[in-house]
Structure 1
Amino acid sequence: MPASSNLSVPFTRNDKDIGYKKMGSKYMEEQFTWFATKYVSQNKDVLRKLIIGFLYLLSAHITSCVAIVFVNDRLPDRKKHPPLPDLILDNLPYVPWAGQASEYCLALEMVIWIGMVSLSKQRLQIIHRLCLVAGTMYWLRCLCVLVTSLPVPDVHKKCYPFPEADTWNKLKRALDLYTRFGLKVVGAETCGDYIFSGHTTLLTILNLFVNEYAPRSRCFIRGITWTLNIGGILFILLCRGHYTIDVILAFYLSYQIFTSYHCCIIKERTSSFPWKVVDYLSECFEDNKETLPEFEKVSV
């Protein structure tokens, strides 16, 4: 048969599949090459900061889980130490399902924050800033729960301290708490970690980041996050998850850490030693100390 006659032979289905696979693999290779050479090279410094911020938050979260387990094992005796007097809790009804409702508020805020970040051109900057602020709050909370143990505010709550457990057993419980993210909806139960409220901290930080970086024309988004923030705090009090002082401190400290960090970005302070250290750290993570980035929608 002449060689030219091979051109008339139609492709079989297997030949087409092989051709499509080759085209697909070539396209994926081109996309990976573009991502590695262009995107990563252009954002190499930002990605480095993001990785450092993520590791900072991860280490703070792990340490906080370990501290909570050790604090749980040295709870004050509930027979000798009843719940402390609390002006707000003493005048609010007890609602057992309110604890899960506060976590649903937290989940909705997280969804809004993810949507806002995914549409912003400064997504990597926003994420690494949230990691730094949240990580700092976790380190502060770890310190506070270790130095002071308060009586359990909820008389209905069952706490199971194991003061005689060995270190390995406690680390296993800390790992279980970490994998459950400390959420009641997935079965995490903690006692003793009251000063200050971790749920209020996350609610407030997510709310502040959405308010700072969401489009200025979308005022309803800010209204939703503020409603979720305040509603989540109210649910925490209704379920007796924390004393009132816990949520007040959590909201105040979250606001101060968030505001202080963003002030360091746009204004240099060198009047005292602590601010010099903060300025130096902010310079390591922030290139521009003149203005905060406005929301810019990513092009599609």
Structure 2
Amino acid sequence: MAASELIQDSDDALPHVEANVSLMNPQTPSHAPRVANGNPTRPISPPMAPSEGHNSRKTQERSRFSVLLQQSQLIHSLSSGLRRHCDYVKITVPDERANRLPTEWWKTGVAFLYALFNLVFTTVVITIVHERVPDKTVNPPLPDKFFDYVDRMSWAFTVTEVNGLILVGLWFVQWLFFKHKSIVGRRCFFLIGTLYMYRCVTMYITTLPVPGKHMVCAPKLYNDSTGKIWRILQLISGGGLSMTGSHLMCGDFMYSGHTVMLTLSYLFIKEYSPSWMWWYRWICWLLSFSGVVCILVGHEHYSIDVVIAYFVTTRMFWWYHSMAATQVLREAPNNFLSRTWWNPIFNFLERNVQATVPIVFSWPVSLPSSCRQRYRMVEGGRDE
């Protein structure tokens, strides 16, 4: 009795503590076990068996997988229902918005008309200037240092025109196979038109005497407007070449149009040809250089005509392509190249060209769909 009373008294002396403990095992007894000193121990949940934890983990993963499966089935059923009962509105985004190199052939057409107008206008100015050329018997040719050291060779100017035709033909074929031919074409047409417009100005404001007494100039027509029109048409039909017999007028010396075409053709060929075609570039350079030299050897232009033509052509080409190839340069506030008079025309032609034109070639004419399908079948058979 004494022991039991002591235990009971010790139980009464302990403070009353309430605690809510969640037990994993429902079979755990409700009363906490006592020890010999009469202090109760905290209820401790028995450790879970490894197999039970593994089973509960598997159960959770299965429940998660079943939920994901139900969601995917629900999404699939909704999408199939929408396909059957709803009409879709397809919104197409134009390719030009995403394309950084749009074709814009209409701009190329405008540049072509600009070049064509200036070429025709050049023939008109040549016809006008021809009437003002001083007579070679009264005004002898001006002294030229190149002519002092190199005698005239009659065949040299024919070499110039043949080389020019070869270079123009090579550039035309290269342009046809170029992928972004619309962009390059409008650049070429703009530069040709601008250079020949400059030539009209220089020819008109200063009329030089003939560079050699060997030159045969057509008789002057003075007030014969009909005869002048026929001369303009004859000059256009013959391409302004002496070898075709269409160019018998004098006065178009400052500056050399043949030098412009030889230099400009080579610059475009070099700029838009791959670097591995170095041999092709060297051949074109030799054709251009020899053609320019033969102009002087034939005494068809003064040396100053050739020098100015080379200077104006190369600078115009480099200025234009520097602005076209450098996007930062276009937007720079202190860009002095933007102060040129033709900067608005440049912005019109190059506004949507937001990247450097890559050197990529393709067939100029796309194959028919039947040929493309047969080609794919052949390629598929080879792969197999």
TM value normalised by structure 2: 0.64
2:344 corresponds in structure 1 to 280
2:315 corresponds in structure 1 to 256
Comparing 134-143 and 222-231, the one that deviates more: 222-231
1:295 corresponds in structure 2 to 359
1:191-239 C-alpha deviation (Å, 9 max, x unpaired): 1100000000001110100110011210111111111111001111111
Relative to its length, the structure with more helix (as a share) is 1
Change (3 A) 1:145 1:291: same
CA contact (8 A) 1:74 1:163 kept: no
1:79-114 C-alpha deviation (Å, 9 max, x unpaired): 221111100122112111211110100011012112
1:115 corresponds in structure 2 to 173
Shift in Å, 1:277: 5.0
Q: Which protein has the larger Cα radius of gyration, Structure 1 or Structure 2?
A: 2
Q: Residue 119 of structure 2 aligns to which amino acid in structure 1? A: H
1:62 corresponds in structure 2 to 120
CA contact (8 A) 1:64 1:139 kept: yes
Counterpart Cα distance in 2 of 1:274 and 1:120: 28
**3-state SS in 2 of match to 1:282:** helix
Counterpart Cα distance in 1 of 2:103 and 2:175: 19
Counterpart Cα distance in 2 of 1:241 and 1:60: 23
Shift in Å, 1:289: 5.6
Shift in Å, 1:164: 2.2
Give the total of aligned pairs. Answer: 260
Counterpart Cα distance in 2 of 1:184 and 1:94: 16
Counterpart Cα distance in 2 of 1:133 and 1:276: 14
2:223 corresponds in structure 1 to 165
2:193 corresponds in structure 1 to 135
* 1:218 and 2:277 are equivalent in the alignment: yes
1:8-30 C-alpha deviation (Å, 9 max, x unpaired): xxxxxxxxxxxxxxxxxxxxxxx
Counterpart Cα distance in 1 of 2:340 and 2:249: 38
CA contact (8 A) 2:129 2:207 kept: yes
Shift in Å, 1:288: 4.9
2:266 corresponds in structure 1 to 207
* Greater RCO (Cα-Cα under 8 Å, separation 6 or more): 1
**3-state SS in 2 of match to 1:186:** coil
Counterpart Cα distance in 1 of 2:180 and 2:138: 53
Q: Which stretches in structure 2 are left out of the alignment for 5+ residues?
A: 1-94, 367-384
2:135 corresponds in structure 1 to 77
Aligned-pair identity in percent equals 29
1:236 corresponds in structure 2 to 295
Counterpart Cα distance in 2 of 1:273 and 1:120: 28
* 1:186 and 2:244 are equivalent in the alignment: yes
4+ residue runs of structure 1 moved beyond 6 angstroms?
A: none
**3-state SS in 2 of match to 1:177:** helix
Q: CA RMSD in A?
A: 2.2
Q: Which of 213, 216, 227 in structure 2 is aligned with 1:155?
A: 213
1:33 corresponds in structure 2 to none
Counterpart Cα distance in 1 of 2:312 and 2:202: 12
Q: Residue 362 of structure 2 aligns to which amino acid in structure 1? A: V
Shift in Å, 1:134: 0.5
Shift in Å, 1:165: 3.5
CA contact (8 A) 1:98 1:235 kept: yes
Q: Residue 223 of structure 2 aligns to which amino acid in structure 1? A: A
Q: Which stretches in structure 1 are left out of the alignment for 5+ residues?
A: 1-37
**3-state SS in 1 of match to 2:347:** helix
CA contact (8 A) 1:74 1:161 kept: no
CA contact (8 A) 2:218 2:249 kept: no
Counterpart Cα distance in 2 of 1:168 and 1:72: 15
TM value normalised by structure 1: 0.81
Change (3 A) 1:274 1:163: farther
2:254 corresponds in structure 1 to 195
2:53 corresponds in structure 1 to none
